[in-house]
Structure 1
Amino acid sequence: MDNGKRVALVTGSTSGIGLSIASKLAAIGYNVAINSFEPESEIGDAPGTIAPDGNVCVRYFQADLADPKRAYDLVGEVVAAFGRLDVLVNNAGIQKVAPIEEFPPEDWDRIRAISLDSAFHTIRAALPGMAGRGWGRIINIASAHGLRASPFKSAYVATKHGVVGLTKTVALETAEKGITVNAICPGYVWTPLVAKQVADQAKVHGLSEADVVREIMLAPQPTRQFVQPEEVAELAAYLCGDMARSITGSAISIDGGWTAK
């Protein structure tokens, strides 16, 4: 199905940042492929919330991106369904917090596979089609932890640093092909998962939720404000535009001043 609209694939996009990016791209006229590891029966009405007016096509593609073959094949499935792929947003990622001597190796492997390896596989699959059309946008959702470290997050920090390095390398390789490759590096983003963490930490520390947010979770961010998913989505949409053609190989912070320190 090729209705002439550009097509975007956003991985890990049934909630949080990914869902916001998918919704924004649909709102500006992209057909959108969304993805997660759950069966479609378990994702709720994510497709309907992304394009409520039905002006663009939204389809769900189930794939556990820890599996290299599924990550690579996902791109082919999207191209088969839509006829093309113009924008790839690698957003999927997971987290584990533990001292390195207690860090389960299987968690290290899965975090690396989903947060870093899957980006390699999807980019590798998407580039030939983009290069053939002379236009493409690849956006990797990294993190402030792709530029700074925090204790007890060895796998997450290592993989997000890797995502930034991958971004820069692919940008150089595609610089003359009409393709831009950038990383967005958010600080703490307000999502339902984070909201639950605030409530849990308030109980553990015996603090109000407001104090937990300000004194614990947002201590690294000078603004003491969460980044909103919609802010990340707006930046992603700009990077997809023709006026962003000279922005490539960049790791763009949206972190309330965290990495300015």
Structure 2
Amino acid sequence: MRGKVMLVTGAFGALGVAVVDMAIAEGAQVGAVDFAPRSQGTDGPGRFRQGGIDLSNPAQARQAVDAVVAHFGRLHVLINIAGGFSFEPIAEGDPKTWERLYAINVLTALNASRAAVPHLIASGAGRIVNIGAMGALQAGAGMGPYAASKAGVHRLTEALAAELKGKVTVNAVLPSTIDTPANRAGMPNADFTKWVTGDELAKVILFFASDAASAITGALLPVAGRV
């Protein structure tokens, strides 16, 4: 990753932190963007952060991308981690949950990608990596809103890969349950040893972002841990 400039959305969450730290350790420069309210600034060499960014808003997404490019001078990689989860049965659920998950899972990736594409093309080796979900391959009870929104991420990945073929690669990783403090708190009786760790998933994400993955585009790669 040495010499690459990356923009990571959802960068203040557990997976985002793992990806950002690993990328910087491998020599990348990273623009870290999140909805969480944290002031703009730098956290040591190679890291530029922006908090309070609503990527479901196209104008804010463009401003965030432009700020990273202004800071580092270029952009090679966009990693769309921003998103969210809700468990809600369809019959008893709130239609607004569907709208919210569509906004935070699909629109964030869409808006960030549209803003980043011109810069990624200009880099000559552009990469987009999205976060889908294994749960969107076959939805279970209570997974309707989440699975539908992540299925949207899968189709976005495929369509954008076709549109940008030969210019920018676009791939997605599809994790099962990620081992995070929030997931452990929400599922205290689960076997955490079977979950995929943040570092394991970060390695796969950074592979798709690397020169080694230049021949891969439109892939939806399950990362199932030990389930």
TM-score exceeds 0.5: yes
Mark the CA change 1:61 to 1:143 in structure 2 (over 3 Å): closer, same or farther.
same
- 1:247 and 2:216 aligned: yes
Q: Is the 8 A contact 1:146 1:163 kept in 2?
A: no
Q: Secondary structure at the match of 1:155?
A: helix
Q: Map 1:211-230 to 2 at 5 A.
A: 212-214=189-191, 225-230=194-199
Mark the CA change 1:55 to 1:69 in structure 2 (over 3 Å): closer, same or farther.
closer
The separation in 2 between residues aligned to 1:155 and 1:68, in whole angstroms, is 22
Q: Secondary structure at the match of 1:172?
A: helix
Structure 2 equivalent of residue 90 of structure 1: 80
Q: TM-score, normalised by structure 2?
A: 0.91
Superposition deviation, residue 31 in structure 1: 1.1
The separation in 2 between residues aligned to 1:61 and 1:175, in whole angstroms, is 32
Q: How many equivalent pairs are there?
A: 225
Q: Is the 8 A contact 2:75 2:120 kept in 1?
A: yes
Structure 2 equivalent of residue 18 of structure 1: 16
The separation in 1 between residues aligned to 2:58 and 2:94, in whole angstroms, is 21
Q: TM-score, normalised by structure 1?
A: 0.79
Q: Is the 8 A contact 1:112 1:159 kept in 2?
A: yes
Superposition deviation, residue 56 in structure 1: 2.2
Structure 2 equivalent of residue 37 of structure 1: 35
Q: Is the 8 A contact 1:31 1:56 kept in 2?
A: yes
Deviations 1:6-45 (A, max 9, x none): 211111111211111111111111111112222216x9xx
Please identify runs of 4+ aligned residues in structure 1 that moved more than 3 A.
Answer: none
Q: Secondary structure at the match of 2:101?
A: helix
- 1:66 and 2:56 aligned: yes
Could you tell me which of 189, 203, 210 is aligned with 1:234? 203
- 1:198 and 2:175 aligned: no
**When you count strand as a share of all residues, which structure comes out higher?**
2
Q: Secondary structure at the match of 1:137?
A: strand
Q: Secondary structure at the match of 2:218?
A: coil
Q: Map 1:1-261 to 2 at 5 A.
A: 5-40=3-38, 48=43, 54-177=44-167, 179-199=168-188, 212-214=189-191, 225-256=194-225
The separation in 2 between residues aligned to 1:106 and 1:36, in whole angstroms, is 22
Q: Is the 8 A contact 2:7 2:79 kept in 1?
A: yes
Q: Secondary structure at the match of 2:59?
A: helix
- Counterpart residue type for residue 80 of structure 2: N
Mark the CA change 1:149 to 1:12 in structure 2 (over 3 Å): closer, same or farther.
same
Superposition deviation, residue 193 in structure 1: 0.5
Q: Is the 8 A contact 1:34 1:59 kept in 2?
A: yes
Q: Secondary structure at the match of 1:22?
A: helix
The separation in 2 between residues aligned to 1:154 and 1:198, in whole angstroms, is 19
Unaligned runs of 5+ in 2: none
Q: Is the 8 A contact 1:96 1:156 kept in 2?
A: yes
User: What is the aligned-residue identity percentage?
Assistant: 35
Q: Secondary structure at the match of 1:247?
A: coil
Superposition deviation, residue 71 in structure 1: 2.6
CA RMSD, 1 decimal: 2.1
Q: Is the 8 A contact 2:76 2:127 kept in 1?
A: yes
Mark the CA change 1:137 to 1:243 in structure 2 (over 3 Å): closer, same or farther.
same
The separation in 2 between residues aligned to 1:229 and 1:8, in whole angstroms, is 18
Unaligned runs of 5+ in 1: 49-53, 200-211, 219-223
Superposition deviation, residue 69 in structure 1: 2.7
Structure 2 equivalent of residue 209 of structure 1: none
